[in-house]
Amino acid sequence: MDLRPATPPQVEAALSAVGHPIILGDRREIAASSQWRLTATGRRFRLTPDRKAISVPSGVTVTKKSYRWAAPGDVNAFFGLMLDNIADLLLTVSLLVGGFGLSADFAFQHLIPGTAVGVLVGDLLFFWLALRLARDSGRNDITAMPLGLDTPSTFGMVFFVLGPALVAGKAAGLSPDAAAVQMWHIGICSIFISGLFKFACAFGSNWVRRVVPRAGLLGSLAAVALVLISFLPLVEMLQAPVVALVALAIILTTLVARVPLPLKIPGALGALLVAGGMYWLMALLDYQFGWHLLPQMHREVQDPSQALLPRGWLTVFTFEWVGAFPATLQYLPIVIPFALATVVGGIDCTESAAAAGDEFDTGQVIAVEACATVVAALCGGVIQTTPYIGHPAYKAMGGRAAYTLATGLFVGAAGLIGFFGYLYVVIPKPTVFPILIFIGLEITAQSFVATPRKHYAAIVLGCVPALAALALIYLNGFLGELARLGVSPDLLRADFRGQIDIVRILANGFIVTSLLWASLLAKLIDRRLTTASGIAALLAVLTLFGIVHSPLPGAPMLVPWPYPLPGREQLASWQLGPEFIRTPLEYAAGYLFVAILLYAWGKWADRQHQARPLDVE
């Protein structure tokens, strides 16, 4: 119901006659009648609903509007959200196929269907939540929360879980198919654990935000966004620079500078049409005249029919993947922080939607993304879902709820029917990867906007371990090429090998390291030295068990004891050899000394009354 601004007596008279949320001109709900139960959320107050039409005194207009869940703006919103999700699926397959040698057929048959089901379920639930909010509020302009595949997790899962698991399987002597199945099972277990973790956070989401500094949470997310999401797609797409630069220019102009295209064509769709047209024209000229306008790798031909009506993913219901839980434990230092980041992101997205006028329940939003993630895992998915940050943008486009419904149905059908294989072949990667660069820039910028200015240095510090992770990706490729050529890494200079080892130590577990380093510096900036000492002590403990700073390739969890443990033979594979034991002990000792120093310093400062927080905003 809409209540135009009126005098207090008129408002009171209206409220005494109605039991429904009443929205004033300033968009706040109020209630002043004692005969109705009053509830409050923040600054919003709500009365028990009564949907009967009423008459009110002269000067007060109360109306009830039916919800139009589909509007012309849903078309633009659909292309934006759908292409975001398709870009993430294309990225997943491209990186696994091109970077780790996974069969495209295996990805189409096993990985994509369940991942797409997660998007389908999540968007259907958000569509339903929008309908319910519209019914309860009596408003017809509700915009549904957008949901899709989590882009940071896509990079994290590919480079630090799925890819290493596939390489480890092959190194253990498994056939390519058996190694791929083992990788898939580890991915399922990882996403299933993520979903359960998010369900737990749904009941304590506000507690998570209070305990972990925003600079820590957003610093680790900004690290992934800037260093991995923005940089790696840029390198990949610039192998076809003409097409890539045109697509990137359109994306940045429309989505960052917010300069509209003619006919209000969505930026993502415009980039696909213009740059995609250029790509296929250049491919045609290559074919007809042999001009070599496109790199060879961009003209490889695959049979998309191999993805139609996939059946390989149905083996997930035999639950053989449950046996991969022990092998999944070593990847939890990567998996859990990404899950935590989506929880915090979901909370922020809910607040952003409330600021735009659509107040969804935070716990329900987190529960929806948790449910979608668990369902995806149970159907063989390997990438978690999350609410997207673009709700205000979709609302500004005029979107309502139809765009989430259409996105869920389209992405779900692409995976389950299998026409994603045709999208993989037809859509040039350089035309959609700029969307990922935009996402990386947007996440990084939002991290600074949502963080107090005094904590900016903490966010930047959180990016440093991610730089090590980026360097390690290329160093591993370099070392792998040396091995292929039969050159031993031992032939490298000793100091260079030592630098590689330090980069690996910084990169292993970098998500947790980024989160804790940024949190520690934020506490120091706030002059809460004793709390910072606790974070340093936690880092010391995590270092001992390889959760951060593992000296081993693949960043496995470890037991900091090189000698046999009687009665604990099952831990032998986790024990660190004598040649590596010094590294975690030295790093743990360093963190421990820092903890002692900060604790003593903080107690002294408290006694000297020198621990007042800074006033900088």
Residue range 60-72: mean pLDDT, rounded? 67
Structure confidence at residue 62 (pLDDT): 39
Structure confidence at residue 484 (pLDDT): 79
Structure confidence at residue 564 (pLDDT): 58
**Does 271 have pLDDT greater than 50?**
yes
Question: Cβ–Cβ contacts within 10 Å for residue 301, how many?
Answer: 6
Confidence bin at 563 (pLDDT 50/70/90) = low
Structure confidence at residue 562 (pLDDT): 60
Give the three-class secondary structure for 346: helix
In angstroms, what CA-CA distances link 600 with 524, 529, 530, 588, 611? Answer: 14, 9, 8, 18, 13
**Does 143 have pLDDT greater than 70?**
yes
Higher-confidence position of 254 and 567: 254
Structure confidence at residue 612 (pLDDT): 56
Confidence bin at 206 (pLDDT 50/70/90) = low
Q: Are 222 and 449 in contact (CB under 8 A)?
A: no
Q: Are 394 and 152 in contact (CB under 8 A)?
A: no
Structure confidence at residue 256 (pLDDT): 86
Residues contacting residue 226 through CB under 8 Å, at least 6 positions apart: 440, 441, 444, 463, 466
* DSSP character string of 543-589: HHTTSSS--STT----BS--S--TT-GGGGGGBPPTTTTHHHHHHHH
DSSP one-letter code for 264: G
Higher-confidence position of 574 and 236: 236
Q: Are 439 and 84 in contact (CB under 8 A)?
A: yes
Confidence bin at 576 (pLDDT 50/70/90) = low
Structure confidence at residue 435 (pLDDT): 86
Distance between CA 301 and CA 426 in Å, rounded? 10
Q: Which helix (H) or strand (E) holds 38?
A: strand 38-41
Q: Are 223 and 460 in contact (CB under 8 A)?
A: no
What is the Rg, in whole angstroms, of the alpha carbon atoms belonging to the chain?
27
Residue range 529-540: mean pLDDT, rounded? 95
**Does 518 have pLDDT greater than 70?**
yes
Residues contacting residue 396 through CB under 8 Å, at least 6 positions apart: none
Taken in order 475, 480, 485, 486, the sign of the CA dihedral is positive
Structure confidence at residue 20 (pLDDT): 41
**Does 57 have pLDDT greater than 70?**
no
Q: Which helix (H) or strand (E) holds 147?
A: strand 147-149
Diameter over CA atoms, the chain: 91
Structure tokens at 216: 């820590």
The pTM of this model reads 0.75
**Does 589 have pLDDT greater than 90?**
yes
Q: State what percent of residues in the chain have pLDDT above 90.
A: 41
User: pLDDT, tens digit, for every residue of 546-556?
Assistant: 888 888 776 66
Angle at 206 between CA 202 and CA 207, to 5 degrees: 100
Structure confidence at residue 596 (pLDDT): 97
Residue range 497-504: mean pLDDT, rounded? 90
User: pLDDT, tens digit, for every residue of 151-200?
Assistant: 888 988 998 899 999 999 998 999 999 999 999 999 999 999 999 999 98
User: pLDDT, tens digit, for every residue of 280-292?
Assistant: 999 898 888 888 8
Distance between CA 16 and CA 35 in Å, rounded? 8
**Does 486 have pLDDT greater than 60?**
yes
User: pLDDT, tens digit, for every residue of 71-122?
Assistant: 988 888 898 899 889 989 998 998 899 889 899 999 999 999 999 999 999 9
Residue range 213-236: mean pLDDT, rounded? 82
Q: Are 403 and 144 in contact (CB under 8 A)?
A: yes
Which residue intervals of 212-331 are DSSP H helices? 214-223, 231-237, 241-251, 267-289, 325-328
Confidence bin at 4 (pLDDT 50/70/90) = very low
Least confident of 72-81, 150-159, 306-315, 353-362: 353-362
Taken in order 403, 408, 409, 415, the sign of the CA dihedral is positive
CA 90, distance to chain mean position in Å, is: 16
Least confident of 145-154, 427-436, 482-491: 482-491
